[in-house]
Amino acid sequence: MSAALANKVCLLAGTTGIAGASARLFAHEGASIVAIGRSADNAAELKAEIEGLGGRCIVHVEDLATPGAPDRAFAAALAAFGRVDVLFHVAGISGRKFGDGPLADCTDEGWDTVMDINLRAMMQLNRACIRRWLAAKQPGVILNMASVLGFSFVPEHFNTVAYAAAKGAIIAMSQHAAGTYAKEGIRINVIAPALVETPMAARATQNPDILALLQRKQPLTRAPLTDEDCALAALYLCSDAARAVTGIVLPVDGGWCVSG
C-alpha cells in the first residue's frame, strides 16, 4: 500500500501540539512539509525531528497575524517546493490574557486579538492557497482548525466569547468556501477537537474540576485527547481517502458532543 500523502507538499500553520504531531505523521506518509511557526526553536526542533526520520521539511518563522505574513509564508513554500497541495491551518491562541471572557467582560483588545490571530490569519492563508490553485487550475485540500467550543458550550469552565465566535466563524467560512470551490476540485473541511493535551490547553488539562468533567464529557477517553488523535483524523481528511469529502465539520472529541 502506498503512503497516504506520497509526493504531496503540505503546508502546516503551527509547529507544536496538533500541528507538530500532524507534520510528523504527514511526513511519515510521504509528504514534504512546510511548517510555519512563531518560535524559531520550536520550528528547528520539528525540522530536525522530521529530517531525522528521513522526511523533507522546511520551516518559515513568522507570526501569521502580522500584515502580509500569510502571503509571505505561502511564497516560502512555493520557493522551496514549487507548489502546495495541502494546507492544514492549526495555529491559534487562547485570548484570556488579552481580555477574552464572557460577553459582559470581554475587552475590545481581547476580541480583536483573538479575531486577528484565530480568524483573519487563517482566512488570509486560505485565500493565498485558493488564489494559487485557481490560477494554476490545480486541485487542492484545506483543513481548518475549529473547536467544539464553537458550537457545544460549557460556560462554567470555557467561557471565552471571542474564542467561541472565532471558531464558529471558521466553520462558516470553510463551508462557504467549500461550496464555492468544489467545482474547481478544491476540498475544504474543518476539524473540531474537544480538550486535547497540548501546550495551549495547559490551564484546562491541569484543572482538577475540568478533568472530572471529562469523565462524562469525553467518555471514550475519560481524559484529554492526544495530539495524535487529531493528527490521525487530519491525515484522513487531507489524503485522497477523503477525495469525495468536502464541507464537513469533524468533531474529534471523545464523545463530547453526544454526552451530557
- Give catalytic residues, as residue numbers: 163
Gap between the Cα atoms of 150 and 195, Å rounded = 13
Gap between the Cα atoms of 260 and 160, Å rounded = 20
101's enclosing H/E stretch is none
What is the strand order of the sheet 56-61 is part of?
56-61, 32-37, 9-13, 86-89, 140-145, 186-193, 249-252
Grid coordinates of 144: 481548518
The DSSP string of 176-235 is: HHHHHHGGGTEEEEEEEE-SB-SGGGHHHHT-HHHHHHHHHHSTTTSSPBPHHHHHHHHH
